[in-house]
Structure 1
Amino acid sequence: MPSPLDGYTITQPEWEVRAFPDGEYLKLKGTIQEVRRELLKINPNWDNDFVSKQKRNNELEKRTDFSNSNFNCFGRWGGAQMEVIEDGIEYLRGVDGRPNMGPGPGNCGRVSCSYNSGIYWCNDADETKTLNSFGSIADGAQKVVDECQRHILDNPTQSSGQVFHYTDWNVIVTSDVC
């Protein structure tokens, strides 16, 4: 898979998710869209069993703090369609489980990609990184969307950039082939 940034290695992120409410956690790889397709094959009611419930829980959940984080906008990455990225953010918030990424620095996984707009999660730590939830990645992508907008006719339509969390990981929003 091509890298969105020089010096970054792209791997498939691993997802710990359940197909059934009382089921064991499964380890699946790919983007949220690919994982969701696989989960729907296993349990056609997966969206009803998890996504709406998890969205309600995430509305009450504390967000990952990116308020004092460093970020870069555009320049290095092509513009992603904001509406598509916001859909990816919503999907990520709806997933129950914890993301795992192998050791870095510079090890990234594409966690969402549709309509040529992608969200990457990157580990900058020397050890494997596990986050509390996929909502943490969504929070990083939301920070990029909030701070890095390109307006066409006074309408924000594109976003791209990278935001760095103080615990040695980052999120990239960019155009991508998917």
Structure 2
Amino acid sequence: MPPAAFFPLSLLPFSRKTNKLKIRLLPNISQQQEFASSMFTHEAVASICFHILTAHRSIVQLFNILGTALMGLVLTQAAPACHISSSSSEMIVAGNKTYAIVPIQWTVQINNTESPYNLTIEGTKQDVFHSITRVDPDAAANINNTVNAITTALFANHTSSAIPGIHDDATYTPINHFCNVAGWGRCSVDRLYQGIAYLDGVPGQPSNGPGPGTCGRVSCSYSAAIFWCNDNMETKVLDSFGSIGDGVERIIDVCSVGSRALVDGQQFFSDGWNAIARYDAC
């Protein structure tokens, strides 16, 4: 009898009891021929094909699992440095207080007609700018020029208070503030500056309410969000959107970390409203 290492391998017919294919060693040619005649019945061939197909499906499933895991790893690596565990699309939790998210209304005057009119828009300042662009392109171009000038000043001086024509509205008195709020994520100060510039550059008055405990997202770009919250029982109207920008500037001044690169915080004002800067998905 030759060594076992030289025995040819053959598959035994499918066993319903064990639900497996078996492999055995055939020591001589006559046994192989006898086995072959009994092996290749329709049932045996069908059994083999079934197991080949099952194995193929298992391999495909394995590659799908590996592909999903790899994609998750890539997305994790590509995530921004500042992050938060959940979206703030429905509420914001700050300490022991929960704020409901509501749409913010913006009222801007459109002057490119014989009879100027007020346009009311819901959403962020980005939505406001896009709406103005559709109905008054010249006004949108002027706003864009103003925004660019404010952005340049903010990057250079870290404040927009010295820019002529900006923050000429009534002064609101800041009171207490919170920094590094539990459960929030920090966001880019540079991106917040861009949001502040739009708030300073867009004309009109923001309206929020009634409260207490209602917030609206007034700006969000590149995961840097600005919220305006009303703690009054009645609707709150500010003199300008720039007032919200003032609140965010104060948050940056007192809360930013890492050479002013990242920040999150909440600034309260004496007349019952506050501004929030933090990470959000956008």
Q: TM-score if structure 1 supplies the norm length? A: 0.88
SS at match of 2:98: coil
SS at match of 1:38: helix
Structure with greater Cα Rg:
2
SS at match of 1:140: helix
Point out the structure with the larger helix share.
2
Task: Give yes or no for the alignment of 1:93 onto 2:181.
Answer: no
User: Displacement, 1:51?
Assistant: 5.4
Residue 4 of structure 1 corresponds to: 92
Residue 74 of structure 1 corresponds to: 180
Distance in 1 of aligned mates of 2:134 and 2:232: 35
User: Displacement, 1:7?
Assistant: 1.4
Asked which structure has the greater RCO (Cα within 8 Å, sep 6+), the reply is: 1
Residue 191 of structure 2 corresponds to: 84
For structure 1, the residue ranges without an aligned partner over 5 or more in a row are: none
User: Displacement, 1:75?
Assistant: 2.7
Residue identity in the other structure for 2:191 = V
Residue 57 of structure 1 corresponds to: 165
How many residues align? The count is 173
1:8-157 to 2 correspondence within 5 Å? 8-20=99-111, 23-50=116-143, 52=145, 56-58=164-166, 61=168, 64-66=171-173, 68-76=174-182, 77-151=184-258, 155-157=259-261
Of 129-138 and 43-52, more deviation after overlay is shown by 43-52
When the two chains are superposed, the root-mean-square deviation of aligned CA atoms in Å is: 2.0
In the superposition, relative to structure 1, how do residues 100 and 126 fare at CA in structure 2: closer, same or farther (>3 Å)? same
Distance in 2 of aligned mates of 1:21 and 1:86: 29
Distance in 2 of aligned mates of 1:174 and 1:147: 14
Distance in 1 of aligned mates of 2:172 and 2:105: 23
Residue identity in the other structure for 1:159 = V
Q: TM-score if structure 2 supplies the norm length? A: 0.57
Residue 27 of structure 2 corresponds to: none
For structure 2, the residue ranges without an aligned partner over 5 or more in a row are: 1-88, 151-163
